[in-house]
């Protein structure tokens, strides 16, 4: 049984990447919250040329080599092109696919009860903050 699988593309304008994501991901993996299925970094240079970089191909990404699990095979060339299209020149992005291990039991119970997922989505952080602010102001 596999839990829900999600993805995200995190942009780093001007290639301002400090590596703080790796320890945070490691803690989520160690706690059994998520399982990383794939992780690829994409860069776009000043001329607009695109390159995909695996974590073992670049020294600044060495911290990601410590992540537990088999990473790879989910992200393809089309995904890399999609992520790169949103990048400004001289920027980079991380493409991340993970399993929500925490939700596996719930998903199994839903299926066992005859339930089927009709729709699901992640609500962007800025919209949640705006809604919470409006709720707080109305109280």
Q: Which of 34, 116, 106, 96 is nearest to 68 (CA)?
A: 34
pLDDT tens digit string along 109-119?
Answer: 999 999 998 98
Helix ranges, 1-139 (H): 21-30, 77-85, 104-112, 125-138
pLDDT tens digit string along 12-35?
Answer: 888 777 778 888 888 998 999 999
Q: Is 34 exposed, middle or buried (0-12, 13-18, 19+ CB in 10 A)?
A: buried
pLDDT tens digit string along 119-133?
Answer: 888 888 899 999 999
Q: Which of 69, 79, 5, 89 is nearest to 41 (CA)?
A: 79
Q: Residue 9 has which token pair?
A: 């593309």
pLDDT tens digit string along 38-55?
Answer: 888 898 999 999 988 766
Q: Does the pLDDT of residue 56 top 80, yes or no?
A: no
**pTM reported for the whole predicted model:** 0.81
Q: What is the pLDDT of residue 139?
A: 77
Q: Does the pLDDT of residue 66 top 70, yes or no?
A: no
Q: Is 41 exposed, middle or buried (0-12, 13-18, 19+ CB in 10 A)?
A: buried
Q: How far apart are CA 46 and CA 14, in angstroms?
A: 10
Q: What is the pLDDT of residue 14?
A: 83
Q: Residue 135 has which token pair?
A: 């709720």
For the chain, the average pLDDT equals 86
Q: Residue 2 has which token pair?
A: 């596999």
Q: What is the pLDDT of residue 8?
A: 93
Percent of all residues in the chain with a pLDDT value above 90, rounded to a whole number: 49
Q: How far apart are CA 60 and CA 62, in angstroms?
A: 6
């Amino acid at each position: 049984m596999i839990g829900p699988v999600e993805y995200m593309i995190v942009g780093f304008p001007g290639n301002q990447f400090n590596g703080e994501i790796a320890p945070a991901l490691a803690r989520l993996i160690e706690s059994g919250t998520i399982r990383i299925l794939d992780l690829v970094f994409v860069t776009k240079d000043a001329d607009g040329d695109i390159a995909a970089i695996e974590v073992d191909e670049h020294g600044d990404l060495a911290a990601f080599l410590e992540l537990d699990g088999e990473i790879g095979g989910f992200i393809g060339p089309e995904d890399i092109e999609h992520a790169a299209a949103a990048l400004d020149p001289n920027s980079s992005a991380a493409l991340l696919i993970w399993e929500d291990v925490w939700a596996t039991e719930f998903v199994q119970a839903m299926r066992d009860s005859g339930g089927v997922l009709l729709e699901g989505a992640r609500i962007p952080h800025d919209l949640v903050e705006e809604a919470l602010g409006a709720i707080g102001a109305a109280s």
